[in-house]
A and B are shown apart, each in its own frame.
Chain A
Amino acid sequence: EDQVTQSPEALRLQEGESSSLNCSYTVSGLRGLFWYRQDPGKGPEFLFTLYSAGEEKEKERLKATLTKKESFLHITAPKPEDSATYLCAVQVRRDSSYKLIFGSGTRLLVRP
């Protein structure tokens, strides 16, 4: 069964304190691994897509990496505005659908 697990469930950081979020997955036919940011009451905002093991992508203070079984979202010197829930999702192909299977997210709080 396709499964995505994110850890930790919640993370509190001081401003400037770097850390990493983990996303582990067991799927067959992976077409891509996606990271989204979600603010309270809003829809997920697309951040990155990773396609193959060893791939890395960066955006401002965020860097995403991918191995064969997990992905990490590294946050360098976070600011309070980085506080949000970060969602990881894997894309699988079933017939013609490329649906996303999400983890439960990591709620990040960055204190000034």
Chain B
Amino acid sequence: DTGVSQDPRHKITKRGQNVTFRCDPISEHNRLYWYRQTLGQGPEFLTYFQNEAQLEKSRLLSDRFSAERPKGSFSTLEIQRTEQGDSAMYLCASSSRQGSSYEQYFGPGTRLTVT
């Protein structure tokens, strides 16, 4: 399978704990995105990497959130001191250039539940 993979698929944690998610993009894609999706809503952009550089962060990404892509391959998203409002599906996407745009392909997501 050469698609985007995410790990874990599900995470249940207690409020105040730290969690880390991993995303492995499609191997030849140098662009990687993180999105968050809550029930009944479309995904919302969190942050973007081109190779190892983090080039854009949404205001949704509070200082409790940090993302890295150390070698320009896989990426991690860490949430410190989790809150119940952090419960959501966290989606990773990678992209390649297609004409004047970049088609994004999504992973299966990590479902986070904060109790």
Q: How far does the alpha carbon of A61 sit from the alpha carbon of B34 in the complex, in Å? A: 31
A103 and chain B: residue at smallest CB distance: B42
Would you give the shortest CB distance from A67 to chain B, in whole angstroms? 18
| B65 lies within 8 A of chain A by Cβ | no
Q: Return the CB mask of B81-115 against A: 1 if under 8 Å, else 0.
A: 00000000001010100111111111111010000
Q: How many residues of B contact A (CB 8 A)?
A: 31
Q: How many residues of A contact B (CB 8 A)?
A: 28
| A112 lies within 8 A of chain B by Cβ | no
Using known A-B contacts A34-B103, A46-B105, A104-B42, determine if residue A97 contacts B91 with beta carbons closer than 8 Å: no
* Residue pair B95, A98 in contact (C-beta under 8 Å): yes
Q: In the complex, which of the residues A44, A96, A97 contacts B43, with contact meaning CB atoms closer than 8 Å?
A: A44
Q: Can you list 30 A-B contacts (CB < 8 A)?
A: A4-B42, A31-B100, A31-B101, A32-B101, A32-B103, A34-B103, A34-B104, A43-B4, A43-B6, A43-B91, A43-B106, A46-B103, A49-B98, A49-B101, A87-B43, A89-B42, A89-B43, A94-B56, A96-B56, A97-B55, A98-B95, A98-B101, A98-B102, A99-B45, A99-B56, A100-B35, A100-B43, A100-B93, A102-B42, A102-B43
